[in-house]
Amino acid sequence: MTAAKRPLPSLPPIPFLRDPRVRLLLTSGSLLFTELMLIRWIPSTVKYVGFFTNFLLMASFLGIGVGILLGRSGRKLAVSPFAWLLFGVVLLVLVAHLDVQVKSSDEVFFGLAESTSADTNFVVLPIVFVLVAALMAALALPLGPLLKSQPPLQAYAFDIAGSMAGIAGFTILSAMWTPPLVWFGVVAVLLLLLGLGAGLGPWSPISGIAVVAVLYLALLQQGWGATWSPYYRINLYDAVDSSGVKVTGIAVDGIPHQGIWPGQPGEKSYYQIYNWFPARTYNEVLVVGAGTGNDVAVALQHGAGHVDAVEIDPAIQQIGVDQHPLKPYADPRVTRYVNDGRAFLRTTTKHYDLVIFALPDSLTLVSSTGNVRLESFLFTVEAFDSVRDHLTSDGTFVLYNSYREPWLVTKIDSMLQTAFTTKPILRIFDAEQAVFADGPAVAALNGAAPPGDTVNPVPVVDGQAPTQSTDDWPFLYLREASIQPHYLIALAFVLLFAFFSVGGAAKLTKTPLRGFSPHFFVLGSAFMLLETKSLVSFSLLFGTTWLVNALAFFAILGTVLLAILVNSVLKVRRSRPLYVLLFAALVVAFLLPPEQLLMDPPWLRYLLAAVVAFAPVFLANLIFTFSFRDTKIADMAFASNLLGAMLGGVIEYAALITGYRALLIAVAVLYALAWLFASRYRRLADVGLSAEAS
């Protein structure tokens, strides 16, 4: 007779961490923190994905929705697949060196041209999308039962509180310039707390070993030498410029971005304005995109009385402070600012003799929603208007970059003419490097050549003239209002994969199609578009910085908690007045676009912006919490809402054609559809909704 095998020992759950409210708080916080970590970390290595961060957001929404569906089976896995999937993501991103370049004559992807990766490896985006969706689904497995374990509004409040904690935690770590090693460590701690709440089984150490392996890979591959600013992974390297001068290069997310020039900077663009007007000195100078200080150093060398140096990335500016051999930032004539250039122009009352936009191409998007880059609102007709208003009576505006496409040079030329009503002067070096100048000093030439140097004609481009960028359509690097084929292919894949993954999860858990809620699905799509429009508006009004975006997102979640409180205390009985108020707020937001709110004093701008931008968000949350309050299928309602949000992320790309203001029309149509699903077509709505008067 053989002895019976004794089961491996398990650690019982810790009572406090077993509480469903605490577990829901930890689960939602883990989901948001992991989502932000992936959106921040993956593009730092896979640069192509940096131009499609909203695809990572859509993958997160899809994954959480599928995870809720899979959690309905009630099966408890001996080993959570999350750590293994995280291991797989890190392995593929760091070891396989996934990346891709985009070849498009109608859209410029700054940075990809400098990448050394393959030209046609378009499989990278689907791979990353699938992995992120699977990763988030694994982490969201317990979310459905937790949502059903308590009254719907209470559960939703704990979910939102956990999400806000996740955002706050990652925002604090970003402000401290922490590396991914710390982020992964936080995820490991959160997994441990969730495990202690569920009871650690015999296989739990295996998951821990996988997480440790992930941390090791992150440390081994990306090393200690990188500086992680809130925007980039920054590395320094030794380089040689075209004239043979040794410089210290700065690479962001693995792409050469700028250099620290010893002695006199070697780029011709730095000196062009002084070559055009050699006898001119500039008392007040503004440099936007000051970087490590090269343009500041040149301005000082040419007798500038005072320089305001504005740089959006604090780490890059600090590198200039510490390592630039000319020490321009230590000069008492220089004042440093860490800010978005457009926000600085909006808040300063000074007038300048010279304003320079010094290579302000960001190589990254500011948010996981929208397609707005850090410099998008610097290159609009309204931004050039703002520069014009800050020039002295004989001031000059200069901007330069390697624009790569002749149509982009033509586009900027036409935008400058619209803003300044005079034709700018242009100098082109090496076919790509172009320097523009406009303003009163250029207008005074009356079409003649500047005294010190020659000018070049604007390139002639075939076909339709490029569409000018505006605050509503801030897409400098698009030739015209259109959705490029690579976007359409990627979006088609997203929709197809979502259809099969949701269908597969429903079949696996035997969830009938009628269990899905069209009402909550449409609410998710509408709110995703509304959130995108609100975040873009706040970027324009208060600066396209990581902190503004984080605070705006945090404030949006704060309105959710306020809506929960209102619905809990006031016991709203009918949703019709809420929809009427929402439509009225959307009309006001449409008639008062954010560019009309750019007014002084600042407190009035903040107040009006808060009312116009957040009133629709708050009313939309009141509608959602009203519906969610009485639902009998909280998990399916929440999953339907998340899947709808993913579709909203797809619809968001319509802004590339219509501009962001028109998204409000789509929002209104979707909320009207949600109203119909909730009131008229009862059999298509959540079966738990309380009856309303028709």
- Asked if residues 361 and 408 have their Cβ atoms less than 8 Å apart, the reply is no
pLDDT tens for each residue of 269-315:
889 999 999 999 999 999 999 999 999 999 999 999 999 999 999 99
In the chain, which residues have pLDDT < 50?
A: 1-3, 8, 100-101, 110-121, 682-685, 687-694
* SS3 (DSSP) at 434: strand
The helix or strand, by DSSP H or E, that contains position 569, with its residue range, turns out to be helix 546-570
Position 245 scores a pLDDT of 73
Phi-psi region of 666 (alpha: psi -120 to 50; beta: other; left: phi over 0): alpha
Q: How far apart are the first and last CA of the chain?
A: 74
CATH class of 512-694: mainly alpha
- pTM, 2 dp: 0.89
pLDDT tens for each residue of 376-413:
899 999 999 999 999 999 999 999 988 878 899 999 99
Q: Which amino acid is at 495?
A: L
If you compute the radius of gyration of the chain from its CA atoms, what whole number of angstroms results?
27
Phi, psi of 354, rounded to the nearest 5 degrees = -145, 125
State the Cα–Cα distance between residues 484 and 487, nearest whole angstrom: 6
Position 241 scores a pLDDT of 67
State the Cα–Cα distance between residues 396 and 428, nearest whole angstrom: 18
Residues whose CB is less than 8 angstroms from the CB of residue 24 and which lie 6 or more positions away in sequence, other chains included? 143, 146, 147, 149, 150, 155, 158, 159, 162
Best CA proximity match to 656, nearest among 410, 470, 515, 480: 480
Position 694 scores a pLDDT of 33
Residues whose CB is less than 8 angstroms from the CB of residue 477 and which lie 6 or more positions away in sequence, other chains included? 107, 108, 109, 110, 408
Phi, psi of 246, rounded to the nearest 5 degrees = -75, 130
Position 602 scores a pLDDT of 66
- Asked if residues 541 and 609 have their Cβ atoms less than 8 Å apart, the reply is yes
Cα 520 to the center of its chain, rounded Å: 25
State the Cα–Cα distance between residues 519 and 679, nearest whole angstrom: 10
State the Cα–Cα distance between residues 551 and 126, nearest whole angstrom: 30
State the Cα–Cα distance between residues 536 and 530, nearest whole angstrom: 10
Position 595 scores a pLDDT of 65
Count Cα atoms within 13 angstroms, Cβ side, for 598.
Answer: 23
Position 255 scores a pLDDT of 79
State the Cα–Cα distance between residues 521 and 102, nearest whole angstrom: 33
> Beta 391-402 vs 433-438: how paired, if at all?
antiparallel
Cβ-based neighbour number of residue 11 at 10 Å:
12
Domain range list for the chain: 13-225+487-508, 255-361+381-443, 512-694
Position 357 scores a pLDDT of 95
DSSP-assigned beta bridge partners for residue 307: 285, 334
Position 688 scores a pLDDT of 45
* Distance set, CA 488 to CA 497, 651, 656 (Å): 14, 11, 12
State the Cα–Cα distance between residues 612 and 633, nearest whole angstrom: 33
**In this structure, which CATH number among 3.65.10.10, 3.40.50.150, 3.40.50.2300, 3.40.50.720 belongs to the domain 255-361+381-443?**
3.40.50.150
